[in-house]
Amino acid sequence: MMNFNKISIIAVAMFAAGSAYAQNAEIGTWAGFRKGAASFTFDDGAPSQVSDCGPVFDKYGYKATFNLVYNWNPNWSGFQSMADSGHEIASHSNSHGNNMSGEEASSKTNIAGKIKQKYGIITVAYPNCNVPNERSVLQNYIVGRICNGSWQGMSDIMGKNGPSNWAKTPAIMTGSEGQIRSTNDFTGQMQKAAQSGGWVAFLTHGFQGKNNGYATYSPTDLSAIEGALKWAKQNDKDIWVAPMGFVAMYIKERNAAKIEGQTGSNSMTFELKHSIADNVSKYDYPLSIRVKSDWSKVEVTQNGAKIDSKIESGYIYFDAVPNGGKIVVSNGNASSGGNGGNGGNGGSVT
């Protein structure tokens, strides 16, 4: 009887150790475990967005969303180059009529025929901020953008779970006709997003003194945006700046994902999964993970490929793709790898 009890205690202890690693695996509310998120969106496909705006974002290592009108024949090669560098190209309809009802699917198809990018055309911004057929929007896009939420009785800054209706995602108008004109105006909104743990988006057309083509409404001082990006870079630990579609994917994946793990003496193995299924996206945007550990050196792989990681304040940090294969965290100081068979179930932290 004594031997049985000892074996039982050992088994429970081993299971608990395995479970502890899994329970200590957390999914960040925002990428990099930052406090809030911000997205810059630009409408109408202005020439200045390619020649002037894109380079400013690239200078600081940030990416934005550019919403194109298909029939206005924007600089397709220029916007393709921007997509190649990580910016998001999105739909702003075929014709920019007062309401784009009937163009939800065709504008997506038409623009996708001109622009090739990893996640496809997953974002739409409505001309004149008039919401078209919501069902058609959500059948073709993961996010549909309006103008200021406060113009429709909603908050301008969203919470950590995004808008209550993904066909009505707010963005604050900038420029001469909007309330966001200076660097301080931009940074003030980003500070509010970080303080509340939320997400703010901005809506811009052309720029003061630039070649704006059709994007003549409410020109914005580009130097005000550059000042905001400089501030964001200085406060990178607090604010995540990313395209609207990417932030939307992150939120939806994070809310649907769970992480399960098991451990051996010198390695931890996890699986990051969600079951989102639609015809719009694979929802394979990387999620930020951290695992509590006292290891001082590690190597992290997913599906056999090495991924970047760092150790900070007792946590191992890395980004992993949901449904992208097993994640293995190995103790870099171990003389030989271990792979015990005792596992436990973890949970998502959002």
Give the model confidence (pLDDT) of 22-40 as tens digits.
458 999 999 999 999 999 9
Q: What is the pLDDT of residue 23?
A: 53
Question: Residue 338 pLDDT more than 60?
Answer: no
Neighbours of 293 (CB within 10 A): 16
SS3 203: strand
pLDDT in tens, 158-213: 999 999 999 999 999 999 999 999 999 999 999 999 999 999 999 999 999 999 99
Q: What is the pLDDT of residue 344?
A: 33
Task: With beta carbons less than 8 A apart as the criterion, state whether 144 and 169 touch.
Answer: yes
Give the pLDDT mean for 131-141: 98
pLDDT in tens, 47-86: 999 999 999 999 999 999 999 999 999 999 999 999 999 9
Helices (H), the chain: 2-23, 47-48, 54-60, 76-84, 104-112, 134-140, 183-196, 222-234, 244-256
Q: Report residue 4's pLDDT band, with 50, 70 and 90 as the boundaries.
A: very low
Instruction: Please state the pTM of the whole predicted model.
Output: 0.90
Determine the Cα–Cα distance for residues 127 and 200; give it in Å rounded to an integer.
Answer: 20
Q: What is the pLDDT of residue 11?
A: 38
Q: Report residue 5's pLDDT band, with 50, 70 and 90 as the boundaries.
A: very low
% pLDDT > 70, the chain? 89
Q: What is the pLDDT of residue 343?
A: 33
Q: What is the pLDDT of residue 247?
A: 99
The closest alpha carbon to 91, from 119, 132, 61, 122, belongs to 122
The closest alpha carbon to 348, from 234, 277, 240, 258, belongs to 258
Q: What is the pLDDT of residue 262?
A: 87
Classify domain 35-236 at the CATH superfamily level. Answer: Glycoside hydrolase/deacetylase (3.20.20.370)
Give the pLDDT mean for 113-129: 98
Question: Residue 323 pLDDT more than 50?
Answer: yes
Give the pLDDT mean for 108-128: 99
Task: Determine the residue type at 242.
Answer: A
